[in-house]
Structure 1
Amino acid sequence: MPTRILPAVGDADAVRSITTLLSQLPDAEPVAPVVDSTQLVDTLARLAAESVDELPEVVVVHERIGPVPALELIREVALRFPAVGVILVTSDPGPGLFQAAMDYGARGLVALPLSYEELASRVQAVAQWSVGVRRHLGSGGDVFTGVGGTVVTVGGAKGGVGATLTAVQLALAAQASGRSTVLVDMDLQAGDIASYLDVQFRRSVADLAAINDISPRVLADAVFRHDTGLALLLAPGEGERGEEVTDRAARQIVSALRSRYEVVVIDCGAQLGGAGAAAVEMADAALLVTTPDVVAVRGAKRAVRMWDRLQIRKAEETTVVVNRHTRGTEIQPALIQKITGTPVAGTTVPANFKELQGAVDAGRVHELDAKSTVKQALWALAGELRLVKAPEADHRKGGGRFRGDRGSVSFRRRKDGGG
């Protein structure tokens, strides 16, 4: 059976050189090259959605691929598509880079300028490895098989605006609709999800920070299974341990979760550190919760501008959610949209703390009455975000936009190459 090889090369001259050599390899079947990280992951995701057998056995990644750096891209492919063997083509084949490439999940490294013998040897070895992994997949082995779930981050314009409650209810709505869902507390110093859901836990997101290869078993050990069926990855009980979760660790953790769950909801809190920033950058949708008052709206505006300056997220790719809304308040969603320069979710959450107080005080927000207007609004927001299987959702042609009373929620192509 021929070996299918997918080159990922951004440079035109390198494309010609690599594809010419690949076409000369025995039993090789090169496929049309992709030119950047986004196109590579999108292509693999489309093929994996059909069947693991549709995936190429080998992906050849050139060191100058972009916009995601080659090693980060290799990590993404290794986590999301474990049946694909990745070869890195590089002008620096030294032991340092070789070790780094292996740590990130590459199965081989080939030096530039390319030689036929070295390329043929690496491709053959990696193809044999890939075939072995597929046999393992066929026997039901415990490995990642997901093609990539939806990641939604929830941040607060300031403390106390309701970001955690929003994140919890969005995750509960997704889980209740039949989608495998994980709720992550990335508010590393002050996370409250455990208190909201009345759980005692030992493992946290910090326990995954130092692990280079997050296998399904390792991930399962760190995740807490709630009575609702919701998976929880909680903030560390000791706030100082939050510093262990670097932006690189956060990327790896989010990628692993995305490969395992259909929906990943991340509570980033109001203070965005490196880990939270990485999550926001990787997210399909980034929500910023505000209340309709001057202080909170100013906080939302500052956050949006900061994310834009730091190239974490563009304003038009951030969606503001208005919590504790009343018709009588002076600051309405249309004004908030104008001030922040962002889309505003069509669903607003009404101000009715009396509905919440008992459940919040008892740490049982998952038992919030179904008649609660706050719960109904947050679950409607989950429908607007397409986190739930809601047949009544109004999908426009072309996808990616959602109809609302005042604005629309938009999903974007992830910078990390997500589909």
Structure 2
Amino acid sequence: MPTRILPAAGDADAVRSITTLLSQLPDAEPVAPVADSTQLIDTLARLAAESVDELPEVVVVHERIGPVPALELIREVALRFPSVGVILVTSDASPGLFQAAMDYGARGLVALPLSYEELASRVQAVAQWSVGVRRHLGAGGDVFTGVGGTVVTVSGSKGGVGTTLTAIQLALAAQASGRPAALVDMDLQTGDIASYLDVQFRRSVVDLAAVGDISPRVLADAVFRHDTGVTLLLAPAEGERGEDVTDRAARQIVSALRSRYEVVVIDCGAQLGGAGAAAVEMADRALLVTTPDVIAVRGAKRAVRMWDRLQIRKAEETTIVVNRHTRSTEIQPPLIQKITGTTVAATTVPAHFKELQGVVDAGRVHELESRSTVKQALWGLAGELGLVKAAEGTHKGGRPRGDRGSVTFRRRKDGGG
């Protein structure tokens, strides 16, 4: 049986060099190369959705792959697709890098300039390992150690547009439909999910920031299981400690959560830091919450442009959620879509703050009544995004219209109405 090998390199010369040698290997079947980290993960996810048997046995990652650093990318592949063997191609063949690559989940390292003998030897060994893993674990979904969950980020165009409420209700909807959900407060300085859900818990996302390898036991110690069944990973009580959560730590945390929960909803807040940027970049769906007013829509446009400049996310890969919508407002969703160049969710959230005030003031937003039009809209949004099981009777909107998303919120002023 031929060995399927997927090259991942951002440099055209590197792609040419790798594919030329791979094509000469006996029983090798090189797959069309991918040019960046996002394309690699998307390709593997698409193949895994068809069947685990469709996944390549070997992925060859060049050191200059981007925008996600090579080692971080290797970790994500190892966590999400554990039966795929990864080889790192690098100019640094030092023992230190070799050890780091192994720690991140690589199965081999090949030094530049490439030699046929070394590459052939590594590919053969890694392919045998991959086949052995698949034989041991069996075919189908059992190959995966985790559920390979959907990650949704919720960011705000500015403070007070309803980001936190949106994130909470999306997680609640997913959990209520039977999909295990985790809710993460990545608004590291001002996040207040704990207050909205009446939670007192001393551990936070910071406790995972310095952990080199987040095992299931370590993750379980850092999270809090809410009465609703949603798992919470909270922001630190002391906002200054949020600086300890680097972009690298955020990638590791998101990857660990993705491997354990079917749905991971991340409240990123309105201010973009390194951790939030990493989360938005990794998300399957990035939501940007705005209200239909000039200031908020301008903020949304700035955020979208900044994400694009920083190569975090393209405008067309971002989904705008319009909160506090009324038919009478001058700024309607089609205009927001035209201004921002994004996709706008078909589901809008109505401006009915009176429905929210009691539960917000009491810190019990999870007890928002089912007849609330705001709750119905947000749970309908969860359906539109594919976060709830179709068989359940939750409210659902139209078909998904975007891939990613992010939302934010400022303390108690952030409401849905």
> How would you bin the TM-score normalised by the shorter chain?
0.7 to 0.9
Alignment length (residue pairs): 416
Q: Contact between 1:157 and 1:288, CA under 8 Å: does it hold in 2? A: yes
State the partner residue of 1:173.
Answer: 173
Change beyond 3 A, Cα 1:332–1:102: same
C-alpha deviation, 1:326, in angstroms: 2.6
Correspondence 1:25 to 2:25? yes
CA distances 1:20-63 after superposition (whole Å, capped 9, x unpaired): 76677788776666565445434433454466566444433233
Distance 1:391 1:186 in 2: 31
State the partner residue of 2:35.
Answer: 35
C-alpha deviation, 1:377, in angstroms: 0.9
C-alpha deviation, 1:371, in angstroms: 0.4
Q: Contact between 2:343 and 2:401, CA under 8 Å: does it hold in 1? A: no
C-alpha deviation, 1:86, in angstroms: 1.8
Deviates more, 1:289-298 or 1:184-193: 289-298
CA distances 1:115-142 after superposition (whole Å, capped 9, x unpaired): 4554455445545654665577469999
C-alpha deviation, 1:233, in angstroms: 1.4
C-alpha deviation, 1:7, in angstroms: 4.2
Q: Contact between 1:90 and 1:110, CA under 8 Å: does it hold in 2? A: yes
TM-score, normalising length from structure 2? 0.81
Deviates more, 1:64-73 or 1:408-417: 408-417
C-alpha deviation, 1:232, in angstroms: 1.4
C-alpha deviation, 1:243, in angstroms: 0.3
Q: Contact between 2:270 and 2:409, CA under 8 Å: does it hold in 1? A: no
State the partner residue of 1:112.
Answer: 112
State the partner residue of 1:404.
Answer: 402
Distance 1:349 1:187 in 2: 22
Distance 1:177 1:325 in 2: 26
Q: Contact between 2:151 and 2:266, CA under 8 Å: does it hold in 1? A: yes
C-alpha deviation, 1:292, in angstroms: 2.9
Change beyond 3 A, Cα 1:231–1:328: same
Q: Contact between 1:281 and 1:414, CA under 8 Å: does it hold in 2? A: no
Q: Contact between 2:319 and 2:343, CA under 8 Å: does it hold in 1? A: yes
Q: Contact between 1:67 and 1:415, CA under 8 Å: does it hold in 2? A: no
What percent of counterpart residues are identical? 90
C-alpha deviation, 1:402, in angstroms: 3.9
Distance 1:283 1:381 in 2: 17
Change beyond 3 A, Cα 1:161–1:116: closer
Q: Contact between 1:71 and 1:104, CA under 8 Å: does it hold in 2? A: yes
Change beyond 3 A, Cα 1:333–1:63: closer
C-alpha deviation, 1:191, in angstroms: 0.9
Deviates more, 1:282-291 or 1:190-199: 282-291
Q: Contact between 2:159 and 2:409, CA under 8 Å: does it hold in 1? A: no
CA RMSD between the two structures: 6.1
Distance 2:364 2:372 in 1: 14
Change beyond 3 A, Cα 1:298–1:4: closer
Change beyond 3 A, Cα 1:55–1:183: same
CA distances 1:59-115 after superposition (whole Å, capped 9, x unpaired): 332334455443232122112122333221222212343233233322221223344
* Unaligned stretches of 5+ residues in structure 1: none
Deviates more, 1:99-108 or 1:7-16: 7-16
Correspondence 1:356 to 2:356? yes
Q: Secondary structure of the residue that 2:326 maps to in structure 1?
A: coil
C-alpha deviation, 1:2, in angstroms: 7.6
Distance 1:404 1:281 in 2: 14
State the partner residue of 1:394.
Answer: 394
C-alpha deviation, 1:324, in angstroms: 2.0
Q: Which has the higher contact order (CA 8 A, sep 6+)?
A: 2
C-alpha deviation, 1:362, in angstroms: 2.0
Q: Secondary structure of the residue that 1:49 maps to in structure 2?
A: helix
C-alpha deviation, 1:414, in angstroms: 32
Deviates more, 1:172-181 or 1:49-58: 49-58
State the partner residue of 1:152.
Answer: 152
C-alpha deviation, 1:403, in angstroms: 6.6
CA distances 1:202-234 after superposition (whole Å, capped 9, x unpaired): 321111112232233322322222222212111
Distance 1:124 1:412 in 2: 53
State the partner residue of 1:98.
Answer: 98
Q: Contact between 2:319 and 2:405, CA under 8 Å: does it hold in 1? A: no
Q: Secondary structure of the residue that 1:414 maps to in structure 2?
A: helix
Q: Contact between 2:158 and 2:296, CA under 8 Å: does it hold in 1? A: yes
Change beyond 3 A, Cα 1:377–1:121: same
Deviates more, 1:10-19 or 1:407-416: 407-416
Change beyond 3 A, Cα 1:409–1:387: farther
Change beyond 3 A, Cα 1:136–1:373: same
C-alpha deviation, 1:238, in angstroms: 1.6
Deviates more, 1:28-37 or 1:356-365: 28-37
Q: Contact between 1:177 and 1:389, CA under 8 Å: does it hold in 2? A: yes
Q: Contact between 1:209 and 1:250, CA under 8 Å: does it hold in 2? A: yes
Change beyond 3 A, Cα 1:191–1:411: closer
Change beyond 3 A, Cα 1:159–1:66: closer
Deviates more, 1:181-190 or 1:353-362: 353-362
TM-score, normalising length from structure 1? 0.81
C-alpha deviation, 1:291, in angstroms: 2.4
Q: Contact between 1:37 and 1:416, CA under 8 Å: does it hold in 2? A: no
Distance 1:384 1:403 in 2: 8
Change beyond 3 A, Cα 1:354–1:55: same
Deviates more, 1:376-385 or 1:87-96: 87-96
C-alpha deviation, 1:372, in angstroms: 0.6
Distance 1:406 1:312 in 2: 11
Distance 1:412 1:49 in 2: 37
C-alpha deviation, 1:167, in angstroms: 0.6
Q: Contact between 2:185 and 2:234, CA under 8 Å: does it hold in 1? A: yes
Q: Contact between 2:148 and 2:258, CA under 8 Å: does it hold in 1? A: yes
Q: Contact between 1:7 and 1:61, CA under 8 Å: does it hold in 2? A: yes
* Unaligned stretches of 5+ residues in structure 2: none
Q: Contact between 1:384 and 1:393, CA under 8 Å: does it hold in 2? A: no
Correspondence 1:413 to 2:411? yes
Distance 1:96 1:417 in 2: 50
C-alpha deviation, 1:168, in angstroms: 0.4
Deviates more, 1:253-262 or 1:364-373: 253-262
Distance 1:265 1:195 in 2: 17
